[in-house]
């Protein structure tokens, strides 16, 4: 059964990635398998994007998602063996949208 990602409809989703990043590939496969529409931002190709990520999150790790240009969500769970828990990830996305006042 596919997870319900309809709460992302109408929201801008940008995924900050790099080609060499295994967690980025894992996240993109998950997003594509669930039909989430996103824009990829390659921090290697766009140094300003890397600077924004670090200045706004305090992190250099990727992948990170930027929702509606203002709410950051990490796209990995380093504490988990699988590195990505879809249920936890979707809960984090919902919470970020709610906190930013944009949950549909």
- How many C-beta neighbours within 10 Å does residue 38 have? 18
Query: Residue 44: which CATH number?
Result: 3.40.30.10
pTM of the model: 0.91
Please check whether residue 63 lies inside any domain of the structure.
Answer: yes
Q: Which residues lie below 8 Å from residue 57, measured CB to CB, with a gap of 6+?
A: 64, 72
Residue-range definition of the domain harbouring residue 69: 11-99
The count of domains in the chain is 1
Q: What is the pLDDT along the chain (104 residues), one digit of tens a residue?
A: 789 999 999 999 999 999 999 999 999 999 999 999 999 999 999 999 999 999 999 998 999 999 999 999 999 998 988 999 999 999 999 999 999 875 54
Please check whether residue 3 lies inside any domain of the structure.
Answer: no
Please check whether residue 93 lies inside any domain of the structure.
Answer: yes
Provide DSSP, 13-33. EEEEE-TT-HHHHHHHHHHHH
């Amino acid at each position: 059964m596919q997870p319900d990602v309809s709460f992302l409809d109408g929201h801008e989703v940008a995924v900050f990635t790099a080609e060499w990043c295994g967690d980025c590939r894992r996240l993109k496969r998950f997003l594509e398998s669930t039909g989430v529409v996103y824009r990829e931002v390659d921090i290697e190709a766009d140094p300003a994007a890397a600077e924004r990520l670090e200045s706004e999150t305090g992190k250099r790790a990727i992948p990170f998602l930027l929702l509606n240009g203002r709410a950051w969500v990490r796209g990995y769970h380093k504490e988990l063996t699988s590195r990505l828990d879809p249920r936890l990830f979707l809960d984090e996305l919902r919470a970020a949208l709610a906190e930013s006042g944009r949950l549909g």
